[in-house]
Every structure is written in C-alpha cells, then in structure tokens.
Amino acid sequence: MKGQMDNPTISRPLADEAVEARGQGDTSPILVTGGTGALGSLVVRRLRDTGHAVRVLSRRSRKSGQAGIEFVTGDLVKGEGIEPAVAGVAIVVHCAGNAKENEQQTRNLVQVASRAGARHLVYISVVGADRIPIAGGIDRALFGYYGSKLAAERVVAESAMPWTTLRATQFYDLLLLLARGMAKLPVVPVPAGFRFQPIDTGEVADRLVELALGAPAGLVPDMAGPRVYAVADLLGGYLQARGKHRLIVPVRLPGKAARAYRSGANLAPDRAVGRRTWEEFLAERVGAASSGKPRVAYDH
C-alpha cells in the first residue's frame, strides 16, 4: 500500500493540484461525517478554506452559518439520512464514531456511498487498533473501542470503494477532557505503566484533508505526537498548569489489552510526526504553568 509524505500540513499548492486531478468541472461537495465534532469540525473548516463545498452529516438538525457548508440530518447507526448525504458526493471523510458502534456506522455508510458512486472514502482510526487484543469481558469493557475501530477498518478495506485509512494516536482535546474530570477527585487513580503519545487535533485534520484531496492510498503510515508521556506526567502537567495538587496513585489494570498497553502497543515512536507538544497545548488552552508539582504515589 502506498505511503504519504511525513509532513501532515495541507498546503495551497497541494490543494490546487488535487483540484486539477479531480477535474476543473468537478464541483461536487465533500461529505464529512462527524463534522461537528472536535476533529470533524476542523476538517470541514480546512476543506472549505481550500475552496471545496462541504456537506456535513449530523444527527441533529443544524443551519449553516457559512457559505459552501451544507448540513444533512441523519443517523449512521440507524442508517437514516445517508442517501441524501452521499448524493452527488465523490469523496467521503468518515470522522464519526463512538465507543461501540463504529462497525455498524461504517457498514451503513459504505453500503450507501458505494451504491451512490462515491470514489474515495477516507477513514480515521486509532494507532494500536491491530495490536490491542480484545480477548475477554475486561478487555471489551475497558478497551472495546480498539476492537470496534479495527472492525470498521475491515469494513472499509473489504468494500468496493477506493479507500484511505489513517491511524492516529489520542488527541490532546480528549486527554484534556479526561484530565479535567480526574482532577475533580481528591485522589486520582491512573493506569500503572500506561504511556501515551498524544497529538494535536488540528494536525490530524490537516493530514486528513491532504489525504482526501489525494488519490486513494489504502492504509497509510501512522500519525503520532512528538513525545511519549507516562499517564501520570500528562495529568501532572495539567495539574501544574492549573496550580492544583492531587495525589496520583497508579493502579495495575488486568487483562490482555492492558498488558499490551503497558508494552506500548498504542504508541508509534517511529511516526512521531506531530509538532505541537502537550505543554504547548496546555499553555494555550489552560494557561501558563504555575509553580509546584503534583504529588505522585508509586505502587511497588
């Protein structure tokens, strides 16, 4: 399968070349599922900035406040509203997803989009989808997302549509949301031995736009953030930025998936193509770091 350039930033020359490749007369909109989410909304904005009309499939009725962006109401799980969403569309960027129903969402989308004649499906998955085993109830309860994403990948790969799949590590936005919730606890349990290599959501959006405007490429190289962090260090960075002090207690999680996580199956150190660090993200979203460090208790 063909790889792509390491630099994930979309450029105007690349966008212009993509327009030429698609044909100057091709004014069909690009469909973005999950286009109101943290990642999808950035993809929509970037596609619009390159001059493309964009259609967004959303579960809730919305009115567009910007020319060139059209909203269609539908539900991928129930298979509702997909036909009008894909009508006349050549490219689909599939950003919608949840913890359990990725496979069903993707299957419904692919079936209808293929019949409608869409020529390129771009799917966002997660690093480690093929390396995090889901072997039992504990694995499914704690890490079922990985199995769900892998199943959706297979639906895409086995479809009749030309496709591109990008696996990325966790987004800073998600980790910030988790850190805010965990910081409300007086004592914070964290998975012992877990490390993350998070990445900026905007950089992943840039890469998805680049892939969408290019030729179908199959499974492309992973995209990961610039640094690997212990989970306690990620949370500690947030606490320090907020000037908070919490006791962080590592807890060893059971199961094969947790063991794979401790071995680094969710990391891609050889694909550290992201540029923005967690510290830079926190400085912008939370504020400058305050003095003091969180207290950490280590198990033995």
pLDDT digits (tens, 9 = 90+) for 139-187: 999 999 999 999 999 999 999 899 999 999 999 999 999 999 999 999 9
**Rounded mean pLDDT, 100-127:** 96
- On the question of pLDDT at 65 being above 50, the answer is yes
User: Residue 288: its pLDDT value, please?
Assistant: 54
The answer to whether residues 290 and 236 touch, using CB atoms and an 8 Å cutoff, is no
Q: Is residue 32 part of a domain?
A: yes
Q: Is residue 36 part of a domain?
A: yes
- On the question of pLDDT at 29 being above 70, the answer is yes
DSSP 65-101: SSTTEEEEE-BTTTTBSHHHHHTT-SEEEE----SS-
The alpha carbon torsion through 222, 201, 257, 78 (nearest 10 deg) reads -100
Measured between alpha carbons, how far is residue 219 from residues 153, 158, 211 in Å? 9, 12, 11
Residue from 276, 280, 283 nearest 199 by CA: 276
The answer to whether residues 278 and 234 touch, using CB atoms and an 8 Å cutoff, is yes
Q: Is residue 93 part of a domain?
A: yes
- Cα separation, 47 vs 43, in Å, equals 6
pTM of the model: 0.87
Q: Is residue 81 part of a domain?
A: yes
Return the DSSP state at 145.
Answer: H
Q: What CATH number is given to the structural domain containing 105?
A: 3.40.50.720
Structure-model confidence comparison of residues 188 and 27, the more confident one: 188
The alpha carbon torsion through 242, 243, 246, 251 (nearest 10 deg) reads 50
Please, where are the H alpha helices in the chain?
Answer: 12-22, 38-49, 82-86, 102-116, 137-157, 172-182, 201-212, 231-242, 256-262, 278-285
Domain span holding position 105 = 12-169+201-219
How many domains would you assign to the chain? 1
What mean pLDDT is reported for the chain? Answer: 88
pLDDT band at 63 (very low <50, low <70, confident <90, very high): confident
**Rounded mean pLDDT, 51-69:** 86
- Cα separation, 54 vs 45, in Å, equals 9
- On the question of pLDDT at 212 being above 70, the answer is yes
Q: Is residue 230 part of a domain?
A: no
- On the question of pLDDT at 292 being above 80, the answer is no
- Cα separation, 264 vs 267, in Å, equals 5
Q: Is residue 114 part of a domain?
A: yes
- On the question of pLDDT at 12 being above 60, the answer is no
- Cα separation, 5 vs 121, in Å, equals 19
Q: Is residue 162 part of a domain?
A: yes
CB-hemisphere CA count at 13 Å for 245? 4
- On the question of pLDDT at 133 being above 90, the answer is yes
**Rounded mean pLDDT, 24-32:** 79
Residue from 130, 123, 151 nearest 216 by CA: 123
Q: Is residue 105 part of a domain?
A: yes
- Cα separation, 128 vs 177, in Å, equals 21
Percent residues over pLDDT 90 in the chain? 80
User: Residue 26: its pLDDT value, please?
Assistant: 62
Q: Is the dihedral of CA 31, 112, 212, 154 positive or negative?
A: positive
